Amino acid sequence: MTQPFLPLTARSREESHRVATSLELFFDLCFVVAVAQAGAELVHAVAEGHAGQGILNYAMVFFAIWWAWMNFSWFASAYDNDDVLYRVVTLIQIAGVLILAAGVSRAFEEHDFLVVYLGYVVMRLAMASQWLRAAHHATAPAERTMCRRYAGGVLAVQIGWLALVLAPESARPWVFLVMALAEMAVPVYAEKDAPSAWHPHHIAERYGLFTIIVLGETVAAATVAVKTGIVENDALGEVLPIAAGGLLLVFAAWWIYFVVPAHDRLTSSRQGFLWGYGHYVIFSSAAAVGAGLEIAVEQSVGKAHISTLAASAAVTIPSAVFLLSVWLLHARYFKVGIAQQLVLPVSSFAILMCTFAGHWAVLAAGIVAAATVAVGVTLTARNPATRARTRA
């Protein structure tokens, strides 16, 4: 039975069978709403011919989503004691996520970030209280200092984010850049003397689960788009190649991400920071693939006011970015020989070239992605050293 109050002390990094809890899974599930809202607004912006502004807003909103999720995940990996107070504070953070999601449309359409900011306030105040509680129960002075730095940094940066609401619209991209850098500096500063006790296997699983969430959102978005194209526009011939290519892209993305044991790269805090921060690109590009598939379908049935080339690029560019970022972050460390190292970079370039394949661009990109998996499997099977270091 869950205890009302337990000491919020650091868990062991050597703890066996450390897996995601049901509360963490519920927390992730609520982020689906925010990711879906961001993707839907990106589709609308690009389809209406406002790609530049849409991509900028998407990058800003997705950073807020990703950063709030990441802050919770790393804290939970180190300190989750699953008592009643911890659960209640986490549920408050979930409420903040839903408030943020409710403000995504206004942020895109009216450039009004107030509701997004208020949702962020709820999440970050709850997060700061968790760090202060951990500081109260810390036994080592260095750990106590680390927890207090986190709490102070979270609160200070949250005040700074108010500038995103108050600044003139033209200045907001620069405000976002400065504050995003400040956010990412907080963990580096807080852990400079004493690292938090995050668990490598647990963190790798948590990131893997969020990858599945964004890929699942991609599947859901593409399915709705294809259904609309068939039912409302009777355009089976136009949307079928997009549906087939999109499915191959998502299948390949899942295979490529999970084929290597990511936790083997998480042996130090420095590697943890690089790996954890780099996933912003992986997550945002994976979710953008779903938006791109919706755009491609809308363009094929005449609903999007953009060219075929632009619609194709909405799928091929994030797909290529996903493959390249996965390779840069961890896949390349498990490749043996030049041939294996070149598979993902070359495939990324080939998918970009598919942009110019007209109405067949998405299907061509999907075939390239599937071929990438086939080549990778073949090369792995031929090299015993690689087989020993991967799961497939």
CA dist 121 to 37, 128, 161, 162, 391, Å? 19, 10, 10, 10, 41
Of residues 42, 81, 19, the one with CA closest to residue 284: 42
CA dist 207 to 37, 204, 216, 221, 289, Å? 20, 5, 14, 21, 18
Measured distance CA(228)–CA(224) in Å, rounded:
6
Q: Which residues of the chain have pLDDT under 50?
A: 388, 391-392
CB 344 within 8 A of CB 331: yes
The 3 state secondary structure assigned to 302-351 is CCCCCCHHHHHHHHHHHHHHHHHHHHHHCHHHHCCCHHHHHHHHHHHHHH
Give the pTM: 0.90
Q: What DSSP designation does 331 have?
A: G
Provide the pLDDT for residue 234.
67
Provide the pLDDT for residue 1.
59
Measured distance CA(338)–CA(305) in Å, rounded:
43
Provide the pLDDT for residue 227.
79
Is the torsion defined by CA of 203, 205, 211, 214 positive or negative? negative
Which run of H or of E encompasses 6?
none
Provide the pLDDT for residue 391.
47
CATH 1.10.8 fits 200-389, yes or no: no
Domain ranges in the chain?
22-190, 200-389
Provide the pLDDT for residue 132.
95
The residues, any chain, with a CB within 8 Å of residue 69's CB and separated by 6 or more, are 27, 28, 31, 210
Interhelix angle 361-382/269-300, rounded to 10 degrees, is: 140
Provide the pLDDT for residue 268.
64
